[in-house]
Structure 1
């Protein structure tokens, strides 16, 4: 946690000059590119468990992850009074994983013990406020030792004439390359030369539709639907599977997957101090998973600038057709995995957030307009437990 908060404090110092800038009072202010919002998020995640997929569904799942995300939004109006918004996000995660360290069962500590992931993204949108339309484009990438990904997306949104409803559509594509880091005992000659690793590809195409509607001054709802298709290498190469004859194999899953998530959101404003936010999602795919997610969060204003937000999420899923625990797969199985993320389980995520947004700015800095701290505890019915804490600061 010390590293997380030191990172935030360092970025705060860099942005001090921005918080002291005087507003632009020239006659061309509306057409100048200006900073609309800056968000800084630092988080810590730690988990424990006893069903590591790297060792065939048994063994420690201990993992820690420290993440830092910097997000900035800039905007300007063109000569036709269309609003252009530009977004830049850069994320850096560093994790250490006791289970990934077991890619080599004989090593006390291997190169797989820890890794750093860097994931920048760029977005651009243009909104015609008169017509109520928004068009957007985006690109992203993610890079770590054994995984490279590039993504693109395009979106369109249209508000109703009374501006109480909005339809949006989005198409996303992700093009990944997976380095085939196999368990050492399954490599030819048991070698560890990184140059001997092969690679394979994975493509994900996702289409999203949503409809949001203001029902009345108290109630807002949204319907969401997605279609997702994946093609290519969908296994993880360093996940072991132990058969009932004692032999060890590399996880093998089909090379295509089709997913259908459907969701519903409803926000109800219970007076001036309480909001009830609810969410439900139904999910089904052709590997055999059916899942249900139900979430509720209730932000409560303690004062006009201080609020607390308790939240709870319940999740339930069935197992994929290809899952079996350690030592229970047979030689007749075409596909096989002992990854407990693909098993049948229930999970609970419970926590709360505290949000500070004084009218004169946090610590008296006018542009430093929000600080939020959130904590959550996660439990899963197949013996996985985790804790997470995040700090979000916003400049505007």
Structure 2
């Protein structure tokens, strides 16, 4: 039941390696399943603001989140010498939210004030090196107090003969169920302090596609085009979020039961010799709720030494807001759809920070198997006053 912005989630979880090395497996192709890599990521997120949708667009948005994920990567070659990759990931994060606690402000400490989310996933792919194709499948699950999600997906990749061009297509479906929890004032029996299992539930399904084409223009310049259309249906409104009207009446947030999104993006990376990379990304987004958004992302990993790099980054984002948003007390009675969630309002935001990465040949702290360590910090600020700080650490064991 957390209230993190989608952009903040992306920034919070994202850990990018500045420089990578390819491993040559042509000399020996193991037919036994072997553990190739272990990745561990831990992050802390703290948010503040004064436009809580739970209380109608006013009030605290204070939230903290501590997240941890671990991923195990295995590989083997089958009888046809096709490379099979298998990965298992487990994520656990715990948050506390002052705004969610206002769903029922009359309780001393409601279940919504803090929660733990668990999200395991598994992915398998098979790579035909002769045909330069890769086929993959994945499945995921996520569970918290009021939300349960099942995900399944598939992917296909085809590279050109010279490996300078690559096409990837992905399909993903998330079949979700979440509890319909109303603000305390709108419940028929306000004296009944219901447990989680007593709340009715509604579905929310998301169907995502991703089509991307990457091209190596020359030894220094690479580009990638991507389109990621998404269709959602079911309960898309957050029913515990209040909306206040001009006549003083109160209702629960109500939004259309379907949404079609069309994001397209262009990524361009330029290598200035062996020490500096400029990574840039532009994304255009539009949906049928009237939201239009633009994102510009820049990152410049700088190799200070062969084993130490610094990566400053900056992201600018702007959106115009959906057709159904209005601030506290501004909606008119009789409107079919209404929301006072400032995540759906007009705003601009800036995200600025840096990461450092260590990958010494003898291992981090002299531990041979500890291949790399990365620390990353970012500060997020947007025009309606919301701000956050994120700190994360990533360890790679090979």
> Normalised by the size of structure 1, how large is the TM-score?
0.92
* TM-aligned CA deviation for residue 29 of structure 1: 6.5
Q: Does 1:94 align with 2:78?
A: no
2:230 maps to: 228
Q: Does 1:187 align with 2:187?
A: yes
Are the aligned partners of 2:43 and 2:393 in contact in 1 as well (CA < 8 Å)?
yes
2:261 maps to: 259
In terms of fraction of residues, the more helix-rich structure is 1
Report how many aligned residue pairs link the two structures.
Answer: 370
Gaps of 5+ in 1: 1-26
Q: Which of 309, 319, 322 is the equivalent residue of 1:320? A: 322
Q: Which of 241, 245, 250 is the equivalent residue of 2:247? A: 245
Q: Does 1:148 align with 2:142?
A: no
Gaps of 5+ in 2: 1-26
Are the aligned partners of 2:29 and 2:77 in contact in 1 as well (CA < 8 Å)?
no
* TM-aligned CA deviation for residue 105 of structure 1: 2.2
SS of match in other structure, 1:141? strand
Within-5 A mapping of 1:277-288: 277-288=279-290
2:22 maps to: none
* TM-aligned CA deviation for residue 363 of structure 1: 1.5
1:168 maps to: 168
Q: CA RMSD in A?
A: 1.1
Q: Does 1:197 align with 2:205?
A: no
2:340 maps to: 338
Counterpart-to-counterpart distance in 2, 1:29 and 1:366? 23
Aligned structure 1 segments of 4 or more residues deviating by more than 3 angstroms: none
1:20 maps to: none
Counterpart-to-counterpart distance in 2, 1:81 and 1:94? 43
* TM-aligned CA deviation for residue 226 of structure 1: 1.1
Deviations 1:205-257 (A, max 9, x none): 11110001111110111000011000100011110101111111100000000
Counterpart-to-counterpart distance in 2, 1:381 and 1:39? 35
Counterpart-to-counterpart distance in 1, 2:293 and 2:128? 38
* TM-aligned CA deviation for residue 331 of structure 1: 1.0
Counterpart-to-counterpart distance in 2, 1:225 and 1:128? 25
Counterpart-to-counterpart distance in 2, 1:244 and 1:281? 37
Q: Does 1:71 align with 2:74?
A: no
Counterpart-to-counterpart distance in 1, 2:201 and 2:393? 37
